Amino acid sequence: MAIKICRLISEAEVRKRVKELAQKISTDYTGREPLLVGILKGAWVFMADLVRYLTIPVKCDFLAVSSYGASTQTSGIIKITTDLQSSIANQDVLLIEDILDSGLTLKYIIDTLKRRNPRTIKTCVLLDKPERHQIEIKIDYLGFTVPNKFVVGYGIDYNEQYRHLPYIAYLSEKEIND
């Protein structure tokens, strides 16, 4: 059976919102050079586009964490699989995340990075699924709120597929579980 991709947010809508986020971040960080920390693998496409639209100098680094594996549900066990290459001490850190689901992964990352003494830590999240939150997380810059569906595209995958889509789509539960 071929999987049917159901579009949720168009490429044009994504591009427009990323530009708006970049303008707000550029304004808020005027006179500073924040360190953007992309959470791999899902956030790299979002972060690349965001950086291109920023009008301020930035530094970039990446952090890879694992909590899903090949499943559609978080395992609840979070581990850093690739750590930052640079020190964040006394830096303005802006975490770039693809999606806020349960909130557990982002909370783990924030708590871990706070122990490294950054000047500030803020969050920039492309997609938020409020229905799935298990804990409250403050999102400083939010792209879109989405329904409780398994989303793909624009860097977000299902079993390493669909990252290449230039828009946000969802897969139905039946298609995922087949």
What is the H or E stretch that residue 174 is in? helix 173-177
In order, the DSSP letters of 66-133 are: ES-TTSSS--S--EEEE--SS--TT-EEEEEEEEESSSHHHHHHHHHHHTT--SEEEEEEEEE-GGG-
- Distance from C-alpha of 58 to C-alpha of 36, rounded to nearest angstrom: 7
Told to judge if 101 belongs to the known catalytic residues of this protein, a careful annotator would answer yes
For residue 45, which amino acid is it?
A: V
Q: From the candidates 49, 98, 101, 128, which is the catalytic residue?
A: 101
CB-based burial of residue 168 (10 Å sphere; 0-12 exposed, 13-18 middle, 19+ buried)? Answer: buried
Give phi and psi for 106, each to the nearest 5.
-65, -40
Task: Scan for tokens 């919102």, then name that residue.
Answer: 17
Catalytic residues: 101
